Structure 1
Amino acid sequence: MRSTRADRHDSDLTTRARIRDAAIHVFGQQGFDAGVRAVAADAGVSIGLVNHHFGSKQGLRAVCDDHVLGIITTEKRNVLTAPGPGPMLASLAAIDHYAPLVAYLVRSFRAGGELSTTLFEHMVAGVRDYLDAAVSEGRIRPSRDPAARARYLAMNSLGSTLLYLQMHSEPDGTVDIAHTLRTMTDDIMFPALELFTEGLFTDSTLLDAYARPRPRSS
C-alpha cells in the first residue's frame, strides 16, 4: 500500500507532502470549514509555508483530492490486475489505514458544491482507468458501455459507504471511521464478490429487453 499519514513518519516526507497529509487529516476530522491555520499547526509549519506551497486553501484541497484518488485508483488497479488474491488480501488486512482517506472523501461529498462535483468526476475517471486495465489483463469482462459502468460503480460504492457511515454514526453525528470501515468491509465483501463473480440473473432477458431500441414518446 502507498504510504499514508497513518503509517509513515513525518521525517520521511517532504514538507509539501507533510502539509498535504496534514490537510487530509484535518479536513477529514473537522470538515472544510477548518482553516489553513489548523492545517499548518497539524503539519508543524507556518501559515506562510502552506500558502507558499499551495497558493490557497482551494489549491491545497485540489492537491488533496488528487492524492486521495490517486491512492485509491492505484490500489484498485493493483487488486484487479493481479494474477492472484494476494494484493486483495493484503489490502483488506490493512483496511484501517484507509480511514483518513475515507474520512476526507465523506467530508467532501457531504459538503457538496462544485469541488465535490469535480471530485466525483475524477473518481469516475479513476474507476474507468482501473477497469480498463483489468479488462486488458483479462481479469474483468468487457462492457457494452465502459463509461456508464464506471459511473454506476462509482455511485454504488460512494453511496453505500455514505449510507453505512450515516447508519453507524453516533447521535451527535460522529463516527469511528476506522472501526466502521472494517465492519462495513466484513459485511459487504462476500456478497459483493459473489455478485461480481457469479452474477445475479440466470439469463439476459431483462438486459436484452432494455437494450433494444424503444419508440420515443411524442
Structure 2
Amino acid sequence: MRIAEHERTAAAADATDLTTRARLRDAAIECFAAEGFGASVRTIAARAGVSAGLIRHHFGSKEALRAECDDAVLEQHRTLKTDGLASPSAAMAQLAEADEYGVMLVYILRSVQEGSPAGRAFVERMIESALAYSEQAVADGVLRPSRDPEGRARLMVTQSVGGLIVLLSMHPEISLTDFKTVLAKTFEQIALPSIELYTYGVFADSSYLDQYLLYIGDPPAAGA
C-alpha cells in the first residue's frame, strides 16, 4: 500500500515538474520573441515569476533552454502548416484562432534576424520541415509536384520570412512585443494575395518555364 502511494506521489511530482518545465519554456519563448535572444536568464525568470535558479534546475543552461524553445516553436509551426494543408476548412479555422501564433511568428523572425549559427540552424530545420509537409501535400493531391522539391521548400520559407521582415520594416510603428498586432497586420496584407498566388500562379502560360528549361539544358522532370 505504501509503495503504491509512493508511486502515485512520484508520478504526481513528475507531472508537476513537466508542467513547470513547459511553463518556463513558454515564458522563454515569449521573452526571446519580445526582446531577442540576448535576453538573460534573470529576465526570463522574472517573466515566468520564478527564480533564475529554477530555470537552471530544469534546463541547466540558457543554450539548452533555447534549444528546447526552438524545438517547441518548430513543432508548432509544422503542426500549423500540416493541419492547414489538410483541408481549406482547417486552414480557415486556424485564421479564426490565430492570436496564439503571434509569438511563434515573431520568434521565427528573431531567429532569422539574429544570424547566429543557432539562428541559421533553426531556419534550415524550418526548410526541412517545409519539404516534408509539402511533399506529403503533393502525395495527398493538395499541391502540384515540383521539379525541385527542396528548392521550392527553401524558396517558400525564405520568401515568407523575408517578406515578413520587409513588411515590418515598412511599419516601424508596430512593436515586435505586440504579438497580436504583428500577426493581424501580416494576415491583413498577405493572406489573400498569397493564397491567390499559390492557387493560380502568375504567368498565363508556360512560355517562361519552357524557355528556362531549354536554357539550362537537361532539366529534371516535373515531380521527379
Matched-pair contact (CA < 8 Å) for 1:165–1:177: no
Using the TM superposition, name which of 24-33 and 40-49 deviates more.
40-49
Match of 2:161 in 1: 158
- 1:164, CA displacement in angstroms? 1.0
Q: Deviations over 1:160-205 (max 9, x none)?
A: 11111121122xx834331232122122211111111111112212
TM-score by length of 1: 0.85
Match of 1:179 in 2: 181
Task: Could you list the structure 1 runs, at least 4 aligned residues long, displaced by more than 4 angstroms after superposition.
Answer: none
Mapping for residues 125-164 of structure 1, pairs under 5 Å:
125-164=128-167
Of 184, 197, 203, the residue aligned with 1:195 is 197
Secondary structure of 1:101's aligned partner = helix
Mapping for residues 33-48 of structure 1, pairs under 5 Å:
33-48=38-53
The separation in 2 between residues aligned to 1:211 and 1:35, in whole angstroms, is: 51
Using the TM superposition, name which of 136-145 and 102-111 deviates more.
102-111
Matched, 1:30 2:31: no
Match of 1:50 in 2: 55
The separation in 1 between residues aligned to 2:67 and 2:57, in whole angstroms, is: 15
AA aligned to 1:94 is E
Which has the higher Rg, Structure 1 or Structure 2? 2
Match of 1:120 in 2: 123
Match of 1:104 in 2: 107
Extract unaligned runs of 5+ from structure 2.
1-15, 218-224
Matched-pair contact (CA < 8 Å) for 1:135–1:141: yes
Of 184, 203, 206, the residue aligned with 1:204 is 206
Matched-pair contact (CA < 8 Å) for 2:85–2:137: yes
TM-score by length of 2: 0.83
Matched-pair contact (CA < 8 Å) for 2:102–2:182: no
The separation in 1 between residues aligned to 2:80 and 2:106, in whole angstroms, is: 17
| Structure 1 residues 133 and 49: alpha-carbon distance in aligned structure 2, compared to 1, 3 A threshold | same
Identity level (%): 44
How large is the RMSD of aligned CA atoms in angstroms? Answer: 1.9
